[in-house]
Chain A
Amino acid sequence: MGATTYQIILEVIHYLFFIYSIAAIGSYLLLAAISAVETVEYKRKNSFVNYKEIMSSNISPSISIIAPAYNESLNIVENVRSLLSNHYVNYDVIIVNDGSKDDSLEKLIDVYDLVPVNYLINEQIPTKPLRKGIYKSTNPAFEKLIIVDKENGGKSDALNMGLNISNSKYVACIDVDCLLLEDSLQKMIKPFLEITDRRVIAAGGVIRISNSCVVKDGKLHDVNFPKKLLEQGQILEYIRAFLLGRMAWSRLNGLLVISGAFGLFDKKIAIRVGGYDTKTVGEDMELVVRMRGHMEELKKKYKVAYIPDPLCWTEAPDNYKIFISQRNRWTRGTIETLRRHRKIGFNPKYKALGMLSYPYWFFFERLAPVIEVVGLFYFGILILFNLVRWDYSFAFITLAYLFTVFFSLIALVTEELTYHQYKKKGTGFRLLRIAFLEPIVTHPFILYAAIRGNIDYYFNKKKKWGEMTRKGMTKG
């Protein structure tokens, strides 16, 4: 019996791998097709928007930008200036200084003429207490600014403090070091105001990479394509993820993630579900999943919107060490979120959220690196025992590679046809080159980081917590 059972098991494993790969490729192609439809539609609709009127309208709804800051002394003054220059009437900027040990607060007080004020906080979400209190500017040019100085509690805790402080209907949660374009708030608020047949609970924006770009006085002056392959690889990855992936998921109303660097939320619902979770490293994804789950449980029609315009620019890791630790964290965030909301997965009660988004994330985001590494191990064992069918291997590796390149090229064409951000001559060649190199330049490291993330999550709990309390937030 031994030989045949063994063979059958091997056959089954092979076929499972094969089916998984085909399903992955198929789902990517499908998403690309859906995103194409949605992109054309979005571009067309958006050409009719007169943002100027919303911008200057004083009956447009109020928005608070909440930006947690931890030891950001170097750039905080510039960052705040950038946040204050948004073209929207009814908004304020809440900078939550999360127990920084540097002179961030002193710098802010000095530059923006801040004085302590009395402020009655409605503490709807418990947070770490205030440290030096709340400050506002005496200069009317900065009247939108609120600075909160509190004891260190991590990024989620700082965001929750901001939620408590805000008097606005909507909150834009951002990383303080990210650069928002001036029309970002108007564009992000649009779906909330425009969609009448369902409630928009959150909107996510695109994150673009600002490495090598010229930023002066908190404004983006010039977009450049960075030199390092790692940075280029990430740019390509972001373009693919945002222009093809999220665009399609937005069409399907299946978005699970709003990037922590820039997202706009209905404050009431965010508070009702309890705000950000302070016990996870993936707080941005976790909140969206929780809010969606909440709406599904109430059986209310809702939408998580997505704005594909390049509105938020942020610095990406430019060395492998930080890159790997960032991806490691992302992996753990994904695992934690999916685990915590297990009951949503494959549960028809949650409709598309449970039967489509969750399974997709589970199989193609959560499990993909694991399966890939298992495959590599298996391949290694076969080599060891000289059992490799090289013709099979060669055929499939070629196929996988060509597919990746093809998909990247589609993303690049989409970028050129829509936003065309990398205009300079010569960049075209480098974009093409990275499409061919990316599977080698970044992919192995992403894989490695994901595996480390898995290991850290399951076997290294101490590290998980250690990192949480030590870092207020990290870049990226």
Chain B
Amino acid sequence: MNTNYYLIDYFNESPSIIQVAWSISGVFFVIITPLILYLKFLRGHLRKKERVTAEFENDFESSLINYLYSGNEEEEISSEQKVIINQLKECIKDPFRRKILIAVLLKLKNEVSGEIAEAIQKLYFHTGLVNFALSRLKHKKWYVIAKGIRELKQFHVKEAHDEVIVHINHPRREVRKEMQLYMVNLFYFDGLDFLDVLETQLSEWDQIQLLEVLQRLENQNISNIKSWLNSSNDSVIIFALKLAKIYNQFEAKDELINLLYHINKKIRLEAIHVLSYLNVLEAKDILKNNIEGRSLEEQIAFFKLMEDLYEQTDESFVMKYIHHEIFEIKVSTLKILKVLNRERFNLLKFESSESNFLRIVNFIENN
């Protein structure tokens, strides 16, 4: 008792700065104790959750396999399968178990095709899982919507098209991306129509994902990309350029050549790469005439293009650049010269004494 009073007196009589210090210490002390308890609880909880998840996963995996192998020819759903469906319906009332079941279904669905994949899809509908996903689309929080769209995409629920497309201009990048992936995964090249009205930037990450999806399709008949090459959205043009390259869009040659004059350097550069890839000879002549006025990257890309598209008449042009200060240009022009005029190339070794230049000449001579 006495010590308590003493401490209180001491505190009250201390200078204010000490009072402040002790008060803050008191606050920390009061926070630290529950923090320790929380940490202990949290660790126990996480461990348990992990164990329980693994158990449920195991259960679901074996019931799924059971379900898949207990079908028969006569009925659409066998009686054994019905039992399993009803069990699962019970389970998914709990959101935690629902999440695990969905993960298990996807884990298998992503690896198989044919009958088994269809059977999993049917199960998704029969258990009513699809309704949970649909209800997410109208949620307020962006990540709930995004999750919903993603799930509908993964289970190929085409019926949700109209509810999904409304999110085309959603302020969150993640929602837009899920929307785009839904469209392309389910409606293939037709799904790309959203590009016509896309106002936001399509990041390189988005583009890679979309192209991956497209390249995996069986039907590789691409729709007309010309309008996207003329888009007012630069990222759509870049994407269309990638399409042009992958799908050898030689028909879009004129649009591609026009892009050599685009205001955006990145687009001009990409256009050079694509034209080079498509072996468009006209591009070389256009670029050759105004190469001096172009950026360094474009110049390097142009000479790289010339490595594939040189003609005998280019020799004097190429000769002008073999001593160019840029390494890549030197290498490209020397490579071309070696093919165009071997004698002249061989003479270079005796004309120059600059070691760096000779190093490149020697390398190209031997490779």
The reply to whether A and B meet directly (CB within 8 Å) is yes
Q: Which A residues fall within an 8 A CB radius of B?
A: 18, 44-45, 47-48, 50, 53-54, 56-57, 59-61, 118, 120, 122-124, 190, 192-197, 391-392, 395-396, 398-399, 402-403, 405-406, 409-410, 412-413, 416-417, 420, 423, 425, 428, 431-432
Are B205 and A48 neighbours in the complex by a CB distance under 8 Å?
no
Are A416 and B42 neighbours in the complex by a CB distance under 8 Å?
yes
A53 and B32 contact, Cβ closer than 8 Å, known pairs A423-B50, A425-B47: no
Identity of the chain B residue whose Cβ is nearest the Cβ of A392 in the assembled complex: B18
- The answer, among A48, A57, A61, A396, for a CB contact under 8 Å with B146, is A48
Find chain A residues with CB under 8 A from B209 CB.
50, 53-54, 57
Tell me, rounded to whole Å, the shortest Cβ–Cβ distance linking B118 to chain A.
22
Task: Please measure, in the bound complex, the distance between the C-alpha atom of A59 and the C-alpha atom of B84, giving whole angstroms.
Answer: 43
Identity of the chain B residue whose Cβ is nearest the Cβ of A406 in the assembled complex: B28
Question: Residue-by-residue, is B32-69 near A (CB-CB < 8 Å gives 1, otherwise 0)?
Answer: 10011011101100110010000000000000000000
Find chain B residues with CB under 8 A from A196 CB.
201, 203, 235
Tell me, rounded to whole Å, the shortest Cβ–Cβ distance linking A14 to chain B.
9
Are B360 and A47 neighbours in the complex by a CB distance under 8 Å?
no
Tell me, rounded to whole Å, the shortest Cβ–Cβ distance linking B13 to chain A.
10
Are A406 and B31 neighbours in the complex by a CB distance under 8 Å?
yes
Question: Residue-by-residue, is B177-195 near A (CB-CB < 8 Å gives 1, otherwise 0)?
Answer: 1100000000000000000
Are B46 and A423 neighbours in the complex by a CB distance under 8 Å?
yes
Identity of the chain B residue whose Cβ is nearest the Cβ of A124 in the assembled complex: B327
Find chain A residues with CB under 8 A from B328 CB.
122
Are A194 and B36 neighbours in the complex by a CB distance under 8 Å?
no
The 14 sampled A-B contact pairs (Cβ below 8 Å) are: A44-B143, A47-B143, A48-B147, A57-B209, A118-B367, A194-B203, A194-B205, A196-B201, A196-B235, A392-B17, A398-B21, A406-B28, A409-B39, A425-B47
Find chain B residues with CB under 8 A from A197 CB.
201
Are A193 and B47 neighbours in the complex by a CB distance under 8 Å?
no
A413 and B213 contact, Cβ closer than 8 Å, known pairs A118-B363, A195-B203, A395-B25: no
Q: Closest 10 A-B residue pairs measured CB to CB?
A: A193-B205, A402-B28, A395-B21, A193-B204, A196-B201, A194-B205, A53-B212, A428-B43, A120-B363, A122-B327
Find chain B residues with CB under 8 A from A48 CB.
143, 146-147, 150, 174, 177-178
Q: Give chain B interface residues in 331-363, CB to chain A under 8 Å.
A: 331, 356, 359-360, 363
Find chain B residues with CB under 8 A from A59 CB.
208, 211, 242, 246
| Further 10 A-B residue pairs, CB within 8 A, beyond A120-B363, A396-B21, A413-B35 | A44-B143, A53-B212, A56-B212, A123-B356, A193-B204, A196-B235, A395-B18, A395-B25, A399-B24, A403-B28
- The answer, among B24, B47, B212, for a CB contact under 8 Å with A57, is B212
Identity of the chain B residue whose Cβ is nearest the Cβ of A403 in the assembled complex: B28
Q: Is B247 an interface residue (CB 8 A)?
A: no
Find chain A residues with CB under 8 A from B36 CB.
409, 432
Find chain A residues with CB under 8 A from B331 CB.
120
Find chain B residues with CB under 8 A from A18 CB.
17
Tell me, rounded to whole Å, the shortest Cβ–Cβ distance linking B280 to chain A.
20
Are B211 and A399 neighbours in the complex by a CB distance under 8 Å?
no
Task: Please measure, in the bound complex, the distance between the C-alpha atom of A391 and the C-alpha atom of B40, giving whole angstroms.
Answer: 34
Q: Is B132 an interface residue (CB 8 A)?
A: no
Find chain A residues with CB under 8 A from B250 CB.
none
Are A190 and B363 neighbours in the complex by a CB distance under 8 Å?
no
Are A409 and B32 neighbours in the complex by a CB distance under 8 Å?
yes
Identity of the chain B residue whose Cβ is nearest the Cβ of A25 in the assembled complex: B24
Q: Is B227 an interface residue (CB 8 A)?
A: no
Identity of the chain A residue whose Cβ is nearest the Cβ of B208 in the assembled complex: A57
Q: Give chain B interface residues in 291-348, CB to chain A under 8 Å.
A: 327-328, 331
Tell me, rounded to whole Å, the shortest Cβ–Cβ distance linking B266 to chain A.
11
Are A432 and B39 neighbours in the complex by a CB distance under 8 Å?
yes
Which of A57, A395, A402, A428 is the most central at the interface, judged by chain B CB atoms within 10 Å of its CB? Answer: A395
Find chain B residues with CB under 8 A from A195 CB.
203
Identity of the chain B residue whose Cβ is nearest the Cβ of A417 in the assembled complex: B42
Find chain A residues with CB under 8 A from B208 CB.
53-54, 57, 59-60, 193
Identity of the chain A residue whose Cβ is nearest the Cβ of B328 in the assembled complex: A122
Identity of the chain B residue whose Cβ is nearest the Cβ of A429 in the assembled complex: B40
Tell me, rounded to whole Å, the shortest Cβ–Cβ distance linking A17 to chain B.
12
Q: Is B125 an interface residue (CB 8 A)?
A: no
A57 and B211 contact, Cβ closer than 8 Å, known pairs A416-B46, A428-B40: yes
Task: Please measure, in the bound complex, the distance between the C-alpha atom of A190 and the C-alpha atom of B39, giving whole angstroms.
Answer: 32
Q: Is B261 an interface residue (CB 8 A)?
A: no
Task: Please measure, in the bound complex, the distance between the C-alpha atom of A232 and the C-alpha atom of B35, giving whole angstroms.
Answer: 20
Q: Is B29 an interface residue (CB 8 A)?
A: yes
Task: Please measure, in the bound complex, the distance between the C-alpha atom of A364 and the C-alpha atom of B46, giving whole angstroms.
Answer: 35
Task: Please measure, in the bound complex, the distance between the C-alpha atom of A131 and the C-alpha atom of B42, giving whole angstroms.
Answer: 55
Which of A54, A59, A197, A413 is the most central at the interface, judged by chain B CB atoms within 10 Å of its CB? Answer: A59
Find chain B residues with CB under 8 A from A60 CB.
208
Tell me, rounded to whole Å, the shortest Cβ–Cβ distance linking B136 to chain A.
13
Question: Residue-by-residue, is B159-170 near A (CB-CB < 8 Å gives 1, otherwise 0)?
Answer: 000000000000
Find chain A residues with CB under 8 A from B205 CB.
54, 190, 193-194
Task: Please measure, in the bound complex, the distance between the C-alpha atom of A299 and the C-alpha atom of B29, giving whole angstroms.
Answer: 47
Identity of the chain B residue whose Cβ is nearest the Cβ of A122 in the assembled complex: B327
Task: Please measure, in the bound complex, the distance between the C-alpha atom of A433 and the C-alpha atom of B197, giving whole angstroms.
Answer: 58
A428 and B39 contact, Cβ closer than 8 Å, known pairs A60-B208, A399-B25, A406-B32: yes
Identity of the chain B residue whose Cβ is nearest the Cβ of A121 in the assembled complex: B359
Q: Is B14 an interface residue (CB 8 A)?
A: yes
Are B203 and A412 neighbours in the complex by a CB distance under 8 Å?
no
Task: Please measure, in the bound complex, the distance between the C-alpha atom of A53 and the C-alpha atom of B364, giving whole angstroms.
Answer: 37
Are B35 and A406 neighbours in the complex by a CB distance under 8 Å?
yes
Q: Is B22 an interface residue (CB 8 A)?
A: yes
Find chain B residues with CB under 8 A from A410 CB.
35
Task: Please measure, in the bound complex, the distance between the C-alpha atom of A20 and the C-alpha atom of B40, giving whole angstroms.
Answer: 34
Q: Is B366 an interface residue (CB 8 A)?
A: yes
Question: Residue-by-residue, is B102-144 near A (CB-CB < 8 Å gives 1, otherwise 0)?
Answer: 0000000000000000000000000000000000000000010
Find chain A residues with CB under 8 A from B201 CB.
196-197
Find chain A residues with CB under 8 A from B367 CB.
118, 120
Task: Please measure, in the bound complex, the distance between the C-alpha atom of A432 and the C-alpha atom of B41, giving whole angstroms.
Answer: 13
A45 and B174 contact, Cβ closer than 8 Å, known pairs A395-B22, A399-B25: yes
- The answer, among B21, B47, B211, B327, for a CB contact under 8 Å with A423, is B47
Task: Please measure, in the bound complex, the distance between the C-alpha atom of A123 and the C-alpha atom of B205, giving whole angstroms.
Answer: 31
Identity of the chain A residue whose Cβ is nearest the Cβ of B363 in the assembled complex: A120
Task: Please measure, in the bound complex, the distance between the C-alpha atom of A224 and the C-alpha atom of B235, giving whole angstroms.
Answer: 46
Tell me, rounded to whole Å, the shortest Cβ–Cβ distance linking B303 to chain A.
14
Are A391 and B18 neighbours in the complex by a CB distance under 8 Å?
yes
Identity of the chain B residue whose Cβ is nearest the Cβ of A192 in the assembled complex: B204
Task: Please measure, in the bound complex, the distance between the C-alpha atom of A413 and the C-alpha atom of B43, giving whole angstroms.
Answer: 9
Task: Please measure, in the bound complex, the distance between the C-alpha atom of A431 and the C-alpha atom of B35, giving whole angstroms.
Answer: 13
- The answer, among B14, B32, B47, B327, for a CB contact under 8 Å with A391, is B14
Task: Please measure, in the bound complex, the distance between the C-alpha atom of A392 and the C-alpha atom of B21, giving whole angstroms.
Answer: 9
Task: Please measure, in the bound complex, the distance between the C-alpha atom of A412 and the C-alpha atom of B43, giving whole angstroms.
Answer: 10
